[in-house]
Chains A and B, each alone.
Chain A
């Protein structure tokens, strides 16, 4: 009985490979195998500083963390209050300005999510994710 169970499981696992490979081929240009964020959408603290006043900093962390401390001049825009905070952000944004989104650290995901939503839902260009997030900014500036 155990061997038949394993056989059946192996057959199912093999069957699922076929469409999976097909889909991987179909999406090969839409996903990066190296990094969750394509290098073209990442920016370092030094690069962001070099852009000077042309940058809008977006803090994607929860409200409490933003209230505790944040990059000077940054605007809070997180998933929890997206609908409420987006209009405030759009009031500040102007064409040509670069948007740098950050969250807590290298391992957080909120900045990536907010950057995707800014591109897809708000249709904004020049949206970047800060490499290393708030931790990286702190190391360079304090």
Chain B
């Protein structure tokens, strides 16, 4: 395993940089490792959240035109921006999902996933407040007829899981 504190591994400094491991980090700050048994439930949460993001991203990559239309429904950004987001966001969700599963770039994936869910939730509430009757498009046609409470509950559930992962990850060794 890559150990960025060992001079022999400093040649892999780019890898350390990418993974966000501080080469000069004192040993005492990262030596603590929660037991595998304690981590296991959080790994399950990791996989569930990752699966949701990968599924949501994959289904939207199949029909970016429809997703652009779904983004446009929120009336927050102009159409060209909706198109750019429709091509980009699904892949970002997929990459974050895989990063959560393999625990590579993990904190980056957690931060992006949390930011995405917060943005989606904000957009959903804003649309409701403005009286827009929209389909969320979060999971393609599967979510086409979701009610506002169902949509909001799903987002808040994912957000709660992500926040729990943040808390659980504070004591784990960073990758």
Does the CB pair B20–A7 fall under 8 Å? yes
Does the CB pair B109–A8 fall under 8 Å? yes
Does the CB pair A12–B92 fall under 8 Å? yes
Does the CB pair A5–B87 fall under 8 Å? no
Of residues 31 through 67 on chain A, the ones whose CB sits less than 8 Å from some CB of chain B are 31, 33-36, 62
Count of A residues near B, CB < 8 Å?
33
Query: Which residue of the partner chain, among B64, B65, B92, B133, contacts A13 with CB atoms under 8 Å?
Result: B92
Does the CB pair B88–A20 fall under 8 Å? yes
Q: How far is the CA of A9 from the CA of B75 in the complex (A)?
A: 27
Does the CB pair B95–A12 fall under 8 Å? yes
Q: Is residue B138 contacting chain A, with contact meaning CB distance below 8 A?
A: no
Kindly name the residue among B20, B68, B82 whose own CB sees the greatest number of chain A CB atoms within 10 A: B20
Q: How far is the CA of A106 from the CA of B116 in the complex (A)?
A: 28
**Segment from A22-30, A69-77, A88-96, A130-138 that makes contact with B:** A22-30
Does the CB pair A109–B69 fall under 8 Å? yes
Interface pairs A-B: 8 shortest CB-CB: A8-B108, A4-B20, A9-B108, A16-B92, A16-B91, A20-B88, A8-B105, A24-B87
Q: List 20 A-B contacts (CB under 8 A).
A: A1-B107, A1-B174, A7-B20, A8-B106, A9-B112, A12-B99, A13-B112, A17-B88, A19-B61, A20-B92, A23-B61, A23-B87, A31-B64, A31-B68, A31-B83, A33-B79, A36-B69, A36-B79, A113-B69, A113-B135
The residues of A with any CB-CB pair to B shorter than 8 Å are: 1, 3-13, 15-17, 19-21, 23-24, 27, 30-31, 33-36, 62, 107, 109-110, 112-113
